[in-house]
């Protein structure tokens, strides 16, 4: 779609407002709006100014002026404002040099696609993320110098079997009992359907929606795979749609990986494959699980660099409440067909060459999709270029205690993966895809504002364990 076609699209839908959206370094979508009269071809050429110093990970106050350039290919009608509104995703540009901004995560993803083509290995990387989330009826949380708490409620939670509901019908779910139950236990069917249909309205193709294992409203709505940048755009739009459909129905949604103690966490299992000239480079009928050597080396790159990748793909302190044994958590740095506790699984639902792909299971939906997907493809390409052997596949039960002692596992905390990223990032800076400045900014922010912020505060359970000691 050209700028002229985007403007015509807005007119055909009687838009009265244009809303521009962009992503900060850590994955949050930002926006502001203007009258539709501002939606001109000049906007696409000249850009719209904003204060970069007020955006996390962007500019300092002495060089704060930045520009947004709308991408006409991303235009859609926003389904949530009362006034008809056309939305467009933007790239970030320096207003002086007119060059793309190196800390714009969307630019990083675009450079990763360019670098992929430059290698000659493939011309297209397809990604298919499975984004999980929890739907709650109520959430309260607060933190101060002398207190800290959170309180979550879900009508489906087993802790509500004794709640006075006049009447309480008793259709609650046990912990880890949320996978595919029918109504009336599944109370969120209509809500997920509304989410699914709204996703389709904004141009995101949906494959399936269902209740997930987490008993307190965990859900999954799978969307069709797409190229790296386009699927990252869609993940941002997906999260926007899911939150807003929930809010207008009186629910709240979280993409936190582990909001509920002792129940399953929310992941973002990411399917991926490389294609060249319309041919899937991951398929070989002679290989293990129909995988080519190219796919095996790609896996080798992912496994080698997994600790550093997780700084982007599992980027919160809460991510490491999920990546623990016993909850189908993919903590084991091995690959396997069908085994869901392996970090990399090869889906076996179909033997079609088009369906051959690998699934990296450690990421979660707090990730900035532009940076996470870019890091994955850069690691995979490093594996292919250096023919990194992933070793033999693992077909054993990876939940067994004795087995775990023999298997390399993911790092167990945010500070460890940030250390890994600091020590292992040459594969990311290849071709100028990730800049050193971006990496330094990202690591220092995460350490100071997230890891230290949690590490320095007493935890409520510490009072249970230690108050009377």
Active site residues: 51, 130, 132, 212, 220, 269, 340, 359, 361
Q: Phi, psi at residue 417, to the nearest 5°?
A: -75, -30
Q: Which two tokens stand for residue 333?
A: 């740095």
Judge whether 413 and 309 are in contact, CB under 8 Å. Answer: no
The answer for residues whose C-beta is within 8 angstroms of residue 166's C-beta and 6 or more apart is none
* Nearest of 439, 444, 326, 322 to residue 374 by alpha carbon: 439
């Amino acid at each position: 779609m050209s700028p002229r076609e985007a403007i015509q699209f807005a007119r055909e839908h009687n838009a009265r407002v244009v809303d521009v959206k962009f992503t900060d370094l850590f994955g949050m979508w930002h926006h502001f709006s203007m009258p539709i009269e501002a939606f001109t071809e000049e906007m696409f050429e000249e850009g719209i100014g904003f204060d970069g110093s007020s955006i996390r990970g962007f500019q300092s106050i002495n060089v704060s002026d930045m520009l947004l350039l709308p991408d006409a290919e991303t235009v859609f009608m926003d389904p949530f404002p009362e006034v008809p509104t056309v939305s467009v995703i933007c790239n970030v540009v320096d207003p002086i040099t007119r060059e793309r901004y190196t800390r714009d995560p969307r630019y990083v993803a675009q450079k990763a696609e360019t670098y992929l083509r430059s290698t000659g290995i493939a011309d297209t990387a397809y990604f298919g993320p499975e984004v999980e989330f929890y739907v709650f009826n109520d959430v309260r949380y607060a933190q101060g110098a002398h207190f800290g708490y959170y309180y979550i409620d879900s009508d489906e939670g087993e802790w509500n079997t004794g709640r006075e509901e006049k009447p309480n019908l008793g259709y609650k779910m046990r912990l880890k009992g949320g996978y595919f139950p029918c109504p009336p236990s599944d109370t969120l069917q209509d809500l997920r359907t509304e989410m699914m249909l709204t996703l389709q309205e904004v141009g995101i193709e949906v494959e399936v929606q269902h209740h997930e294992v987490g008993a307190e409203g965990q859900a999954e709505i799978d969307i069709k795979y797409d190229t790296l940048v386009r699927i990252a755009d869609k993940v941002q739009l997906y999260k926007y749609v899911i939150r807003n459909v929930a809010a207008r129905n009186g629910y709240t949604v979280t993409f936190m990986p582990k909001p509920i103690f002792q129940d399953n966490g929310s992941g973002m299992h990411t399917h991926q494959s490389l294609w060249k000239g319309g041919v899937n480079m991951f398929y070989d009928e002679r290989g293990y699980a129909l995988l080519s050597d190219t796919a095996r080396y790609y896996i080798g790159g992912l496994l080698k660099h997994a600790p550093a990748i997780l700084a982007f793909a599992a980027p919160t302190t809460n991510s490491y409440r999920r990546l623990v044994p016993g909850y189908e958590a993919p903590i084991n740095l091995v690959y396997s067909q069908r085994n869901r506790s392996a970090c990399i699984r090869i889906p076996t639902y179909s033997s079609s060459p088009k369906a051959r792909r690998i699934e990296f299971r450690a990421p979660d939906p707090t990730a900035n999709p532009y940076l996470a997907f870019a890091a994955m493809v850069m690691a995979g390409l490093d594996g292919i270029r250096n023919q990194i052997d992933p070793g033999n596949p693992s077909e054993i039960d990876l939940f067994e205690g004795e087995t775990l002692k023999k298997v390399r596992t993911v790092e167990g905390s945010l500070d460890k993966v940030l250390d890994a990223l600091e020590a292992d990032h040459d594969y990311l800076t290849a071709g100028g895809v990730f800049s050193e400045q971006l990496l330094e900014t990202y690591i220092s922010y995460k350490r100071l504002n997230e890891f230290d912020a949690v590490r320095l505060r007493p935890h409520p359970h510490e009072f249970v364990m230690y108050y009377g000691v």
